[in-house]
């Protein structure tokens, strides 16, 4: 299962822990990286961020390397959504 998170609210992810294998952070959700990084329940979940949303966030680049978050382009995002079914969007 893949989750697309559009808002800065990691509590919205909690009902899916144990089922989700990947989370893609979009729009305001990029600001949730520090909270995800500091929460052990996300340790086995792959986290990706849309590169264009990251670029406009103004967050320091160190957050990406310290938290093992992957930057992806829009084309990769679409491919991941096709490959991981079901896809849940949380807005």
- Residue/partner pairs of 47-50 with CB below 8 Å, 24 or more apart: 47/22, 47/23, 48/22, 48/23, 48/24, 48/72, 48/76, 48/77, 48/80, 49/24, 49/25, 50/24, 50/25, 50/26, 50/74, 50/77
Report pTM.
0.89
The dihedral over CA atoms of 38, 55, 44, 39, expressed in degrees to the nearest 10, equals: 10
Domains of the chain, CATH where assigned: 2-90 (3.40.1260.10)
Q: How do residues 27-75 score in pLDDT, each as one tens digit? A: 999 999 989 888 899 988 999 999 999 999 998 888 877 667 889 998 8
Q: How do residues 10-25 score in pLDDT, each as one tens digit? A: 999 999 999 999 999 9
């Amino acid at each position: 299962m893949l989750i697309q998170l559009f808002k800065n609210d990691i509590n919205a992810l909690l009902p899916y822990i144990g089922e989700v294998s990947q989370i893609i952070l979009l729009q305001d959700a990029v600001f949730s990286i520090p909270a995800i990084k500091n929460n052990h329940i996300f340790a086995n979940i792959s986290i990706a961020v849309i590169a264009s949303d990251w670029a406009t966030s103004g967050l320091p680049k160190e957050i990406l390397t310290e938290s093992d978050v992957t930057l992806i382009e829009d084309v990769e995002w679409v491919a991941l959504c096709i490959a991981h079914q079901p896809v849940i969007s949380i807005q």
